[in-house]
Structure 1
Amino acid sequence: MKNAFIPFANPGAAFQARKHEYDEAFSRVIGSGQYILGPEVETFERRFAEWLADASCAAGDCIGVANGTDAIEIALRALQGLFPVPSGKLPAVFTVSHTAVATVAAIERAGCVPILVDIDEASYTMSPGSLEAAVNMVAAERPDLAPMAVIPVHLYGHPCDLDAIMGIGERHGMRIIEDCAQAHGAAYRGKRVGTLGIAGTFSFYPTKNLGAIGDAGAVYTGDSALAAEMRALRQYGWKQRYVSAIPGINSRMDPLQAAFLDINLRHLDADNAARRSIAARYDALISRATITPPVAKPEVEHAFHLYVLRSKRRDALAAFLHERGVGTAVHYPQAVHSQPAYAGRVIIAPDGLPITERVVPELLSLPMFPQLIQADVERVAHALLAWDKEQSS
């Protein structure tokens, strides 16, 4: 009998396993008559904030929003409201080009100018050296821009080098907004990401480590003034009902999604442990002759939202695996600065983005989700070993 195809991701597996919990939550929300914000959202916000703090710091505030892109936009708008740049200048925000395009789209939606920097070749996250060079370039060559913020992206679940990045931010008067869309539960020097900068933004897209059944997002902050500003911004700028104190948007977390997220939050530590176990098994079984597995730096705890290989024959490897019943994905096929919407008009670091451009064509994501059974992990690894043998012969 032919083996079933192994999907790259399978969010439905978790939802089916917890169906009775979702059914109860659905009935509770429908019966409540409260369908915008309300107690379900407030409960999830409180519990997620407490989970993030995890005894390593006092719990701050979590603001539930409609999606992860809005989370970044709202955090940046709030920063501009509390810490405006000098008159006549535009706020500059530094991030990486190797990220989901949502990061850069949100920067522009917030009225800021994105400056794209290179990545570290081992972790695929922001290079502090490239960031420093880009900040110095803006200071020397762009009098129309005022450096305001840095958005390090904890890509694939691997935390960025936050000590170095936060040091650069402090020297240049910039705030750090962590993009944690792929890093629910990742930690840097013992603290969960999202709690180290002035704010941490999260996406709860269904395939994330903590996913909803649809779109949802959140911002976490330990700054009460920033939290108040963001709560107003997510709902038309209201600080008093129906009265807009500041220009805002409509980005409210749906209470049904909040109820589902609260269920998944209770399972998140176990789900992340399963992801790390799968990653460890891949590591143990995969030959390093023709492919490079991911690495975790010693000061971090990787959340393994994705398990990303590197191969000079990435597309051929993906086709080989597909023929053997293994699904894969590419995150991401083009860096932001090379995409049609941004090519030629976004500002990039002075030395260019050579590591980004070298790495992007070589990255391939393997199946990774908590319900992936051991036999399928073995099948994936043995298919990779067959590839390695074929390439080496």
Structure 2
Amino acid sequence: MKPLNVEICDVTLRDGEQTPGVSFTCEEKQDIAQRLSDIGIDIIEAGFPSVSEYEKRSVRSIVEMDLPSDICCLSRCVQSDIDAAIDCGVDLVSLFFATSDLHLRIKYKKTREEMLDLALGMLDYALDHGIKVRFSAEDASRTDTAFLKEMYAKGADRGASYSSYADTVGCMTPLSMYETVRVLSTWLKNPLCVHCHNDMGFASANTFTAAQAGAFQLHTTVNGIGERCGNASLEEVLVALRMQGGVDRYDLSALQTLSRTVETYSGIKIAKTKPVVGEHAFCHESGIHIAALIQDRNTYEYYPPEMVGAEQKFILGKHTGRKGLEYILTTLGYNPVPGEVDVILERIKSISETKQSITHDVLLSVISETRQETELKKTSGSDKARTG
């Protein structure tokens, strides 16, 4: 498989922080940035400096960490925003501006031509001050294609390092994303970036599909946090790139700890069924599944949990089978006598059907109870033999 030609720009510290109720401290941002860099993330979008002085200091502090990753920040088409980015010393500024007719009419009260002139002027200003620019079309997915091409072409001609396509309201599907990116990436004069939101649940799929179609820079957030329904999930995109895109330069073994760190700092709980990092991502209860997994893990795990810093777990419940239970009992150092496994299994099924979880302590209690009964039967049998 020829590896996809991509880089990752993680925007957890900016778009991820725009999740309602989320606010990272400077120290938390530094910790997340360090962890992202350790994984090998190419570009870290550290924040939006014009938001506040504290935000500006936080962005500057990440720049001063001198990480291997390039540091980026967000800027509107406002000179003071660009000045703030310059003051922070970032490597790249994401200069964003609305391009759809809806946004131009409602937000800016400007024509297409007026918006483009303003954006190009700010692009020139940033370049004149020695900072690279990502020319970013907000609501690109609802923008007239002809205008989008004109805007990107003029930006590239003026020196923009990237053209960026934002599916701001998450209205794209994988098929429409593939076709759009295929056309744009073959036509553009500079690399294309994609920034996907998850309003219909397609953000990660759209991002990976865009990479297959020729997009170069992929935007992600840890745990998929972000405004409304969030953004493309870093961990999902990285696993897809490894398993289906031939990209193996990122250290996926740190994803679990990174995910838990962001969960703690953001206060946004990870769903148990969340791919890659959810509590149930590598948990198995079905007896049929466990019996097969004991022989070959590939039967019900597409990628090994160790690859992403996780571990395989067998869960006991109403769907547990005899082989799975025997395996778990063996790992606990318990060697049941004939008949005990069936008794334990029946009790586990009965307990789970009352919606009680079979925790480690519950299992030990069932084993203890069963063993006591077994010993009692042995004693009773011995007594009868003596009296008989």
TM over 0.5: no
TM-score, structure 2 length as denominator? 0.29
Report the structure, 1 or 2, having the larger helix content.
2
- Structure 1 or 2, whichever has the larger Rg, is 2
TM-score, structure 1 length as denominator? 0.29
